[in-house]
């Protein structure tokens, strides 16, 4: 389990400041929901915390491996659901565990259908399955429920509760109901 700390983070792109003096601490095993209007820097903050971008000022302490759902699904288009999971998990792939999670997420009947032929909601659910099964200490989830109908959203929230296994979770969402369903502490960017 991992504690994640952001201390006075600033990030600017050209003339636009997207992170302005952001500080918070997420305890090991805690779920933190990052909220705020579009363009306030939620995605940038996740990228800085995961080490994919560098803040202009401030420090991050996040000594952990992240599993992630990005805004883009980032699937291997020519592979089926199992193939996408197998690619990420390598030798750690457990067919029974993968099948069970795919069934929980309503993806049991996809067969050998390539990810490129999945609906948007199916793609989001597969991206979440990949993040949940990947070996990690923390999960960074950027709008993981976008485009899901209410039943799929319910399935994903339940799977996240059941499979986070004490990992620290950073969730970006515009929906306070998601934060509530996960018992999350909410940090609203712009009010940090």
Report pLDDT digits (tens) over 90-136. 888 889 999 999 999 999 988 889 999 999 999 999 999 999 999 99
Please give the pLDDT value at position 192.
Answer: 42
What average pLDDT does the segment 162-167 reach? 89
Q: Which two tokens stand for residue 53?
A: 């971008």
Question: Structural domains in the chain?
Answer: 4-188 (3.40.50.300)
Please give the pLDDT value at position 16.
Answer: 92
Q: In this structure, which long-range contacts are made by residues 35-40, counting pairs with CB atoms below 8 Å and at least 24 apart in sequence? A: 35/172, 35/173, 35/174, 35/176, 35/179, 35/186, 35/187, 35/188, 35/189, 36/188, 36/189, 36/190, 36/191, 37/190, 40/189, 40/190
Report pLDDT digits (tens) over 2-12. 799 999 999 99
What average pLDDT does the segment 72-86 reach? 92
Report pLDDT digits (tens) over 13-25. 999 999 999 999 9
Instruction: Supply the mean pLDDT for the chain.
Output: 92
Query: In which band, very low, low, confident or very high, does the pLDDT at 1 lie, cut at 50, 70 and 90?
Result: low
Report pLDDT digits (tens) over 33-57. 999 888 889 999 999 999 999 999 9
Q: What is the pTM of this model?
A: 0.91
Share of the chain above pLDDT 90, in %: 78
């Amino acid at each position: 389990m991992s504690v994640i700390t952001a201390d006075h983070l600033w990030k600017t792109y050209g003339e636009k400041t997207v992170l302005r003096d952001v500080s918070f601490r997420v305890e090991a095993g805690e779920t933190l929901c990052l909220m705020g209007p579009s363009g306030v820097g939620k995605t940038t903050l996740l990228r800085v915390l995961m080490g994919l971008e560098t803040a202009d000022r401030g420090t991050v302490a996040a000594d952990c491996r992240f599993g992630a759902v990005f805004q883009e699904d980032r699937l291997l288009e020519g592979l089926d659901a199992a193939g996408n999971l197998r690619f990420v998990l390598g030798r750690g792939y457990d067919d029974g565990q993968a099948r069970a999670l795919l069934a929980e997420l309503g993806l049991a009947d996809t067969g050998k259908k390539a990810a490129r032929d999945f609906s948007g909601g199916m793609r989001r659910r597969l991206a979440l399955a990949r993040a949940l099964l990947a070996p990690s200490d923390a999960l960074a989830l950027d709008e993981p429920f976008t485009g899901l109908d209410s039943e799929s959203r319910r399935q994903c929230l339940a799977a996240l509760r059941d499979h986070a296994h004490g990992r620290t979770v950073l969730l970006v969402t515009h929906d306070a109901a998601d934060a509530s369903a996960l018992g999350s502490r909410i940090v609203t960017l712009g009010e940090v």
